[in-house]
Amino acid sequence: MQLLKDRILKDGVVKPGNILKVDSFLNHQMDIDLINEIGKEFKARFSDCPITKILTIEASGIGIACIAAQYFHVPVVFAKKSQSVNLDGEMYCTKIESFTHKKVYDVILSKKFLGPEDHVLLIDDFLANGCALLGLIDIVKKSGATLEGAGIVIEKGFQQGGQQIRDMGVRLESLAIIDSMTDDSLTFRE
């Protein structure tokens, strides 16, 4: 998506540890006109899929998912990161390991909001090692819903998450895939 790539080149900042800061337009301050175009692009790419629900994970996936959902006319449900899981059988639970934050989260979703009748589109802001997305895929599997695909705003193509998830047969659409980045250069996959 050219508009997004141009914006990353203009306003993205590369930080030590292969972190791309996009907090002036995507995940702290949010440029709603841009995110609206992102939502439209997800709809265009998944227009052939009978999506009934968009699933994301708190926090930064939520705003993007909500704007996209206005084009799909389906509810958004977001998985919650929780420190202490109440295993009462009412929740789907999975574990997500964050390499960036060096932490393991329990992630939960109420069984009320996802079931075998659903066709799910996953949406998130970043795909790096893939831990968040793999956790969401695990929740979809546990729910018996059909996974239609995943829409990612920025994929860091030099980390292994994208490859791993495509190898699982998941339809993965990333609007910008970064193949390499240094302080003064950033290369996108064609």
CA distances from 100 to 103, 154, 184 (A): 8, 15, 22
- 129 near Na ion, rule: CB under 5 A: no
- 59 near ligand G4P, rule: CB under 6 A: yes
The count of residues interacting with ligand G4P (CB under 6 A) is: 22
Annotated binding site for xanthine: 20, 27, 156
- 157 near ligand G4P, rule: CB under 6 A: no
- 101 near ligand G4P, rule: CB under 6 A: yes
CB under 5 to 8 A by kind: which of ligand G4P, Na ion, none does 65 bind?
A: none
- 125 near ligand G4P, rule: CB under 6 A: yes
- Closer to Na ion at the Cβ: 39 or 61? 61
Among 149, 157, 161, 162, binds ligand G4P (CB under 6 A): 161
Least distance to ligand G4P, CB of residue 41, Å: 19
What are the start-end ranges of the H helices in 12-78? 32-45, 60-72
Q: Dump the DSSP string for 61-121.
A: HHHHHHHHHHHHT--EEEEEEESS---SSSEEEEEEEETTTTEEEEEEEEGGG--TT-EEE
How crowded is residue 118: how many other Cβ atoms within 10 Å of its Cβ? 21
The angle formed by the CA atoms of residues 130, 54 and 5, to the nearest 5 degrees, is 60
- 150 near ligand G4P, rule: CB under 6 A: no
Unique residue bearing structure tokens 């795909």: 127
Q: Which span sits near ligand G4P by CB under 6 A: 46-54, 98-106, 111-119, 143-151? A: 98-106
Interacting residue ranges for ligand G4P, rule: CB under 6 A: 19-22, 27, 59-61, 98-101, 125-132, 156, 161
